[in-house]
Amino acid sequence: MKKYLNYLIMLGMMSFLLGCSSSKATNQGVGSLTNTKITSQAYYPTSEELEYENILTADKDNWCQVVQNAPAQTTILLEDGEYVDACAIRNKSYITIKAKNKYGVRYTGDDFFLTLEDKNHHINLLGIEATTTTDNFNSGLFKAHGYGNFDNHHIYIKDCWIHHSGSGILTGPRNHDITVDKCLIHDIKMGYAWYALGWHMTLSRSVIYHLENNGMVLRGHFPLNRFWSFEESQAVDITQERDIENIPEEEWTHRITGNFFGEGYGRTAARNWDRGTAIAFYIGRGNHDGDDAYLPPQNVLIEDNVFYNITPSVAPNGEVFAGAITVDAEAGFSSDREDKVAGLIEGTVIRNNTSNVPIIKSFWEKPDFSLITQSNNKSWDTGLLEKEFYERIEALK
């Protein structure tokens, strides 16, 4: 009887875990409020916006030309094959680029498979596998420029598999309303699963593991009325600017909901600055890489995620860097206006997450934990999480 009761308890615990990390990330779920004033939802296109009736087909030799010439409200079906040619577009809208068969398109080039240069919106990218040949930050599945006057928005990436690649996804500080949904990302060699500058950035129902560096990096965004180049941003001090038009203070920049972040076994760090963190807030000050020009993440929601065996590494100051969510920021969390520019904005909510490692750690400056809302986060046995880890990977494959 006791053995049977223990079995029932085990089943109940697994059911709870599966419920926490499954698809709460619907259009309504991801719209959960970090602030009662927030009314905007994460971006999820309708079925009509994913499957346009005007259909074109393309293959590995002509796909970029077909995309560049396609009119609005077109679905471009890509034939199976190994693709080596990357594609850059601008001034395109209402386009779906879709593998005819999920993962049937395997990109093995040395750049980003798709790059949005400027003024693109309502672009869908579905079912692509990317495993690039170069070990650098500028290769992977998707890149959206964001400096200067570049502006790309309402982008949806779903059912993609990115692995053993230089980077995964890179978005710039003037991009907004981008959603990465039900993707499998692992073994990124140099960059990050998603280097997420901009605002209204959503990661949902995805699995990210084997983190050579950080998984998802939450970075800042440019004021809406500023158009600096990368070189100009290196010399800008946002605290000296006047009449900054920012997104409203009750708005949000990042939502991370319903994902599984897992390290797994056998990871060997490739570089001494590797972090291995699932989610990292990063704001550096005065380091001449443009950070002084960014307004930081605000009203971030990290909800219904699972963190499994996030491998510790040692920071330069000797601290063991073992948190699932880390504050890798020189200014920490702050609520004063000037510190908001120099650090991370008050309003982050971390709730309903499951982990077998510490949920949040800090690096450099210590955050003011009173400015972070944490609730219903739970620790679970490693064995239970391991089973779900492999089940979630198989489900996405």
Per-residue confidence (pLDDT) for residue 35, from 0 to 100 = 38
Q: pTM for this one?
A: 0.88
Per-residue confidence (pLDDT) for residue 243, from 0 to 100 = 66
Give the mean model confidence (pLDDT) for residues 183-197: 90
Give the mean model confidence (pLDDT) for residues 297-303: 92
Q: Which amino acid is at 23?
A: S
In the predicted model, what is the mean pLDDT of the chain?
Answer: 81
- DSSP string spanning 105-169? EEE--SSEEEEEEES-EEEEEESEEE--S--STT-EEEEE--STT---EEEEEES-EEEEES-SE
Is the distance from CB of 164 to CB of 133 less than 8 angstroms?
Answer: no
Lowest mean pLDDT among 27-36, 168-177, 278-287: 27-36
Q: Tell whether the model's pLDDT for residue 103 goes beyond 90.
A: yes
Q: Tell whether the model's pLDDT for residue 38 goes beyond 60.
A: no
Highest mean pLDDT pick, 81-95, 304-318, 383-397? 81-95
Going by C-alpha positions, the residue among 356, 275, 363 that lies closest to residue 319 is 363
The string of pLDDT tens digits covering residues 68-98 is 999 999 999 999 999 999 999 999 999 999 9
Q: Which amino acid is at 383?
A: G
Give the mean model confidence (pLDDT) for residues 30-37: 37
The string of pLDDT tens digits covering residues 158-177 is 999 999 998 999 999 999 99
Burial class of residue 315 in the structure, from the number of CB atoms within 10 Å of its CB (0-12 exposed, 13-18 middle, 19+ buried): middle
